[in-house]
Structure 1
Amino acid sequence: MDGKLAVIGLGSIGSMALWQASRLSDSVVGFEAHTPAHARSAVGGDTRLFRMIYRGTPGYYPILERSRDLWAELEAETGQDILTRCGGLSIGSTDGPYLRSVLETTRINGAAHQILTREEMAERYPQHNLRADDSAVFDPNAGVLRTDRAVTAAVAAAAANGATVLNNTPVSSIRETNDGVVITSGGTSWTFGKVLIASGGWSRQLMPDYLKAHTETRRVFLSWFVARDAAQFTPDNFPTFSRMYEDRSMYGAPTVDGVTVKATLDGRGTVTTDPNGFPRDLSAVEIPETVETVTEFFPGLIPTIVRSDAFPDLYTEDRNPLLGWLGESSRIYCATGFSGGGFKNATGFGHIAAHEVLGKQSFVGLDFVRPERFKARQPSVQYSAPQLPKA
């Protein structure tokens, strides 16, 4: 054996799983195809939103609570400022489906929140150009995560705990044997007791067919704009936001460089067959839609894209991640398929994955993320993420 556990992919989830596993075992190895937080990974783009208020599956809430505590632990352990708590806004039509769904999930979870009328929004957050029937739900526990700092800090903490990190070591195959799991990279092989797959958009090549049939790699893009008055868009004055209507949608974060503001169309991921070869530049359709939306939403931003990029991530058919063993007797565990929304709870899911794969603890109430939920389903011929109509 070359170790008790190998973690394949040290990005959003893999870095956190490696950090957590290094607290439980002195025989952990992380494999990274490039280097942690490299520019081609789904970690790219400086920031991600952290929020306790969202719409959808209520089962995420306890994971988010644990994630919030673990982000603080990672900061304390490494001395890095990773999570800036600036609050968060969910904005939409008062009686529209978006806010109704947000409030329904919030009611079930009991998350702290405040409903803001259009008039209250205009007074507190005049950066937003609101529609006549708008209102918002304010999340006091939301904030913005610094992705590069988070990943590099987690990997450094794991190494300090005794984990081995192999950079520039892309894994080409994994194979279960009677003795363990054999990992191959180039002409070199290793054998481990257990393997954890956390390679995001590159995970499909390491998955069984039943999961390939229900997953796809998608290209997700981000965009930034210059603020006319950057002081209005600092974390002290400008919470993270998610804003959705039938005709437009956008999310974003306050400035972290004192100049630019992230404001990106929501739900526009497109399928790519090659996570290494998709277009990084925005298309002739993406650019005008992004500019038109910013022009309407934010008069305080200059409506010219000054920076953009695109990244791969693995999407599942139901948009919930894959967290668990690949089979009943398998030694291979996966923590992937977060469908563009996993960073906020990366520490929580990394904690669960590390404890389960090393046999330290099992968790209940997670049927909505277990891979076996797809075994009973027929393979999909084609599926796509919901796309909002263009304006």
Structure 2
Amino acid sequence: MDAELAVIGLGSIGSMALWQASRLSDSVVGFEAATPAHGRSAVGGDTRLFRMVYFGKPDYYPILERSRSLWAELEAETGQEILIPTGGLSIGTANGSFINSLLETTRINGAEHDVLSREELAERYPQHNLRPDDCAIYDPRAGVLRTDRAVSAAVAAAQAGGATVLQNTPVDSITETEDGVVVTSGDRTWTFEKVIVASGGWSRRLMPDHLKAVTETHRIVLTWFIAQDGTQFSPENFPVFSRLHGDRSLYGAPAVDGVTVKASVDAPMDGRRRTTPDPDSVPRDLTREETEKVTEIVTDFFPGLIPTIVRSDAFPDLFTEDRHPLLGWLDENSRVYCATGFSGKGFKMATGYGHIAAHEALGKQTVEGLDFVRPDRFKTR
């Protein structure tokens, strides 16, 4: 037995699982196909939105609460600023389905929030060009996460806690035996008591057929624009946002560099399908249609942004059929634990997911109320 636990993939979730596992065991190994926070993983793109007012099941709220506390712990442990408080805006049609769904979720989970009328929104945040029927839900606990910094900090903290990190070591296969789980990379093998698979878009290669059938690797496109007045779009003045109006949907983050604002089309919200390329060959350049779509929306929504894309990129992530993660054992007798399939919305809760995965994989705790993310929900299909 080479170690008690292996974590395969040290990206968004795997880095956090490794950090948490290093607090629980002195026998942990992390495998990374390239290097942590490398430019082609789902970590790419500098920032992600953190929101407590969340469009989705109320069951996510305890994970969001735990994640927020753990982001603070990671900052304290490493001395890095990772979660920058900005507040958050969800903008949509008053009494429309988007706003009403968010309000219903907050009613159930008790998330702190304020409802802003169009007049209040225009006065406080004039950066947004509003429709007559717009309103917003303000999330005072929202912020922007620095992704590369977060992953690098978590891996460094795990190593400081005694974890071993194997970089440039892509895993070719995992095989369960009576004695443990055999991990193979090239002509090398290791045996572990338990394994966490957290390799995002690359996870399908290590999955059983019934999970391959309900997952796809999707291409996530991100775009940035230059602010005419960087101060107006600074983290102090411009909250993270998600906006939906008709068939137009956009989300983004402030200019953490003082110049460029992230403003990207939220494809799942406006009903368009993403392409599903192999994770090793995701097209990085935007299509003409993608460029025209986001430029048109940004021109309409933000008169204070120069309507020309100054930076764009694309990254792979694993999406499940129901858009909920795969978090848990492959089955009740398995030694392989899934922490993948976060469907483009995992980073905000990465610390919470990593905490759950590490504690469950090492037998320290079983978290209740997570049936909707357990992999065995697809077992009988």
Instruction: Name the TM tier (shorter chain).
Output: over 0.9
Contact 1:221 1:269 in 2 (8 A): no
Give the match for residue 351 of structure 1: 355
Q: Deviation of residue 55 (structure 1)? A: 1.9
Contact 1:98 1:245 in 2 (8 A): no
1:374 to 348, 373, 378: 378
Give me the whole-angstrom Cα distance separating, in 2, the residues matched to 1:117 and 1:240.
18
Give me the whole-angstrom Cα distance separating, in 2, the residues matched to 1:245 and 1:325.
39
Q: Does 1:292 align with 2:281?
A: no
Q: One-letter code of the match for 2:190?
A: W
Give the match for residue 318 of structure 2: 314
Give the match for residue 116 of structure 2: 116
- How many residue pairs were aligned? 377
Give me the whole-angstrom Cα distance separating, in 2, the residues matched to 1:54 and 1:77.
27
Give the match for residue 73 of structure 1: 73
Give me the whole-angstrom Cα distance separating, in 2, the residues matched to 1:274 and 1:288.
25
Give the match for residue 201 of structure 1: 201
Q: Deviation of residue 269 (structure 1)? A: 5.8
Structure 1 residue runs of 4+, over 3 Å off? none
Give me the whole-angstrom Cα distance separating, in 1, the residues matched to 2:275 and 2:25.
38
Q: Deviation of residue 95 (structure 1)? A: 1.5
TM-score in terms of structure 1 length: 0.96
Give the match for residue 46 of structure 2: 46
Q: Deviation of residue 246 (structure 1)? A: 2.2
Find the residue that maps to 1:285 and give its secondary structure: helix
Q: Does 1:275 align with 2:270?
A: no
Give me the whole-angstrom Cα distance separating, in 1, the residues matched to 2:69 and 2:277.
37
Contact 2:325 2:339 in 1 (8 A): yes
Contact 2:219 2:277 in 1 (8 A): no
Give the match for residue 384 of structure 1: none
Find the residue that maps to 1:304 and give its secondary structure: strand
Contact 1:3 1:191 in 2 (8 A): yes
User: What RMSD in Å do the two structures reach over aligned CA positions?
Assistant: 0.7
Runs of 5+ in structure 2 lacking a partner?
none
Q: Deviation of residue 272 (structure 1)? A: 2.1
Residues 146-157 of structure 1 aligned to structure 2 (within 5 Å): 146-157=146-157
Q: One-letter code of the match for 2:17?
A: A
Residues 170-319 of structure 1 aligned to structure 2 (within 5 Å): 170-267=170-267, 270-319=274-323
Give me the whole-angstrom Cα distance separating, in 1, the residues matched to 2:370 and 2:219.
27
Contact 1:249 1:266 in 2 (8 A): yes
Same amino acid, percent of matched pairs: 74
Q: Deviation of residue 278 (structure 1)? A: 1.9
Runs of 5+ in structure 1 lacking a partner?
378-391
Q: Deviation of residue 271 (structure 1)? A: 3.2
Find the residue that maps to 1:12 and give its secondary structure: coil
Give the match for residue 87 of structure 2: 87
Find the residue that maps to 1:6 and give its secondary structure: strand
Find the residue that maps to 2:295 and give its secondary structure: helix
